[in-house]
Amino acid sequence: MNSTKDSKENRALLLVGPTAVGKTELSLELAKRLTGEVVSADSRQVYRGLDIGTAKPTVDERARVKHHFIDIRDPDQEYSAGEYGREARHCIAGLLECGKTPLVVGGSGFYLRALVDGLFAPRVSDAAIKEKWRCFYREQGEQAAHQRLAEVDPKTAARLHPNDMQRVVRALEVYEITGVPISRFRSGTETPAEFQAVWIGLWRDRESLYRRIEMRVDWMIDEGLVGEVERLQKKGYDLELNALRTVGYQEVFSHLSGVCDDRQMVAEIKKNSRRYAKRQITWFKRDSRIRWLDLDCLTSSEAIDAVVKIWHTAF
């Protein structure tokens, strides 16, 4: 966009930060103040039935403010960061066309990167997904892994020998994360978004954030997280699904299978949630575009005013 007016009309507000920092609460008020709608950037809230364990906005909250990319897939349906990036860009373009402020809210780094920057293979990595395909390669054999690659990325499969475990696994990892064959990355077809992104990060002191995480876990247990997982089990969903290999669900599955008792389950969820938050903070702190607000030093009203001020003065 060439003019200041055009630039300001072609923006999206990105509200990011670690789990439990307070993104949802602020986003609801911000959507009202800025005449906006929420574009969720949470890689687990896209799945139906994963409500308590993902701290999904309630039905009432979604009635007050329209949310996009929540409950759009069943847990056994794959949904990649690449798919999200393309679909969310289309959604944001539609909101801008209608004069709405797109308010992107979430803590899933790959989703946000796919949305704003596009995904480039050298930067795409997920240790759990990589290990999944390594196990598949070792247990099912090189031919089975190579055949799986041929189904999703025939160009890469054609140039790789089945014995090349490292590159076969890498190509499968990239495809699962992004939904795009690694061969397409090599052709350089991924491009940055056309809108201007105003990045705002929400921050709390580590001890303050950890207390909030532990309170959230206690709330999840009280709200019926174990029952939620039992209902998912009855529908035939298990930890083989990528959607459920996440903090909160994997520990409850372990509990239901007799691996740990109630107390151990809760302790593990809290510990793993703290670790997840730490990884999120590390990810976001590397991005110099993010302007940080310390929520420990601001009231809710002050935080809203600060975000609105940044929004109105950006670009």
pLDDT for res 105:
98
Q: CA–CA separation, 11 vs 16, rounded Å?
A: 16
The verdict on 133 and 172 lying in the same domain is yes
The verdict on 157 and 238 lying in the same domain is no
pLDDT for res 82:
84
Q: One-letter amino acid identity for 119?
A: L
The verdict on 252 and 108 lying in the same domain is yes
The radius of gyration computed from the CA coordinates of the chain, to the nearest angstrom, equals 20
The verdict on 143 and 103 lying in the same domain is no
The verdict on 95 and 171 lying in the same domain is no
pLDDT for res 1:
40
User: Within 10 Å of residue 30's Cβ, how many Cβ atoms?
Assistant: 24
Query: pTM for the whole thing?
Result: 0.82
The verdict on 114 and 127 lying in the same domain is no
At which of 186, 204, 222 does a domain end? 186
The distance from CA 190 to its chain's CA centroid, rounded to whole angstroms, is 19
The distance from CA 58 to its chain's CA centroid, rounded to whole angstroms, is 18
What are the start-end ranges of the H helices in 153-299? Answer: 154-159, 165-178, 182-186, 206-223, 225-234, 249-256, 262-285
- List the domain range (segments joined by +) for residue 255: 4-118+191-313
Residue 242 DSSP code: G
pLDDT for res 66:
98
The verdict on 262 and 114 lying in the same domain is yes
pLDDT for res 9:
85
3-state secondary structure of 212: helix
Domains held by the chain: number = 2
- Sign of the dihedral through C-alpha 115, 176, 271, 257: positive
Beta carbons within 8 Å of 119's beta carbon, 6+ residues apart: 81, 82, 85, 110, 113, 177, 178, 180, 185, 190
The verdict on 142 and 104 lying in the same domain is no
Beta carbons within 8 Å of 79's beta carbon, 6+ residues apart: 43, 46, 47, 72, 73, 179
Nearest-CA neighbor of 156 among 135, 133, 175? 175
At which of 129, 161, 186 does a domain end? 186
Q: Looking at the chain, how many residues does it have? A: 315
| Weakly modelled stretches of the chain, pLDDT under 70 | 1-7, 120-123, 186-190
CB 116 within 8 Å of CB 196: no
pLDDT for res 308:
97
